[in-house]
Structure 1
Amino acid sequence: ALTWWNSHVRIVGNDAADVMTWIELKKKMADTYCPRNEMKKIESEFWNLEVQEESDRVERYIGGLPDSIHGSVTASKPKTMQEATEMTTGLMDKKICTYAERQAANKRKFEDTSRNNQGQQQPPKRQDVAREYAAGSGSRPLCPKCNFNHDGPCTPRCYKCNKIGHLSHDCRSPTNANVAKNLRGNGAGQKVTCYKCGAQGHFK
């Protein structure tokens, strides 16, 4: 091709060769190296290509099948092209149906899960409720004892000693101290103390 091009440039000149379009170049090269009569011979040979033996046709057909069904068709050992194509069609139909059923099942499962999640809202945590309560009362002063916004004196109730005026983490009640001491177990024969009434012998 390079020899032909150099010869063509010498004949028509550099200026004429430079302005030649790609289509014109392809046509000139095809006329030189691929004359129409030779192309017709090749086309005729191609169309007349045939696999003579039925077994060879079946083998080539199976060789071009996808991996998902290739093994099954090979194991069935079809003798004719009709058997091979029928087996292939049946397997492909089954694969498609199975895939469609699996997709539908996954969709139903996803929809059920979404529906259940919407119907079962998680209750807000205690800390979140307290935070929202405090944030929603911004017009009232913040109490340093209970950390809530409210007017008037703070009257928190301790759930350990059941007294008003402090919270459980600030409780210094002797009853509360006895409970903690008993829970640590300082001796096998030590009596337990009730954290409600303060009497010994029971917890509550």
Structure 2
Amino acid sequence: METTLDISGCPDQHRVRYAAGSFEKRALTWWNAQVQTRGRDEALAMPWEDFKTLLRGEFCPRNELKKVETELLNHVMIGAEHLAFTTRFHELATLAPDIVPTLEKRIERYVGVLPPCIRGHVIAAHPTTLEMAVTLSASLIDVMVASGALKKGSGTTEDLEQPSNKKRKVVKNFVATTTAKQAVLNQPPQNRGSYSGTAPFCNKCNYHHQPGTGCRQCTYCGKMGHWVKFCKEQKTQHRANQAVAQTAAHLDRISCYTCGEPGHYAKDCPKRVLPRGQAPRGRAYQIGTAAVRQDTDTNTNNNTGTFII
């Protein structure tokens, strides 16, 4: 805006009038409100510096400038997109001058976020102007792209953004799934089935049946909605009992080949002879009749007990 005023040779006393005449949309609405509040003559006679301060306070609040500063601090080149990176860097540096207040700071910030493959070469050249750093980095980018060391549209920043995008997608899917499940749980009981009959809904058993008939309650499991002949728990228990009865009948039909008793196989027989390696260990002592008489005569007063002859 100031460049346009300088080129057109606008006098200082008409700068506010000329600049306000170029407003449109939201800016025009805001300026009309200022004219109604201050008066037209007072608003147009405002000094140029006061006009810029008022304009920045409305359209460049601190929270918006904070976003611009954060973007400038995190602004890096993605792949070989040198032109887009440089253009956005100039815009952010102009909007956030406190981050790069001097030329040295601006050059340092620009060179510091270049790709590592060319950053060292630019730093070694010691650029004294920002234009020199931009031209040198553009030439190095072209060389890297021609050699295949750098590709357009690929870079460290894009690779780092992929996990966050994936995480947001997972969170979004989780929220959608949770919302769907919650909606299903919050549905009223009468909407949980596909009943298309004419019987009214019963609030006692949560099923549809005619008013003259009682609620269907199973006498086996105690649940509502079915009779005992349709009870699934009874059928399950009946099948279990049949399995037990069949097992018992099968055991009654078999007999052991070792002892001849019914109810078990030979491998489970408690009277079967164990293998030689598993036989109980011990010693059997035998004594004859003559030894018994001799031992009884000599040790009658010292030994008592029963001897197996």
* Shorter-chain TM band: under 0.3
The normalised TM-score by structure 1 is 0.28
- Specify the structure having the higher radius of gyration (Cα): 2
TM-score scaled by length of structure 2: 0.20
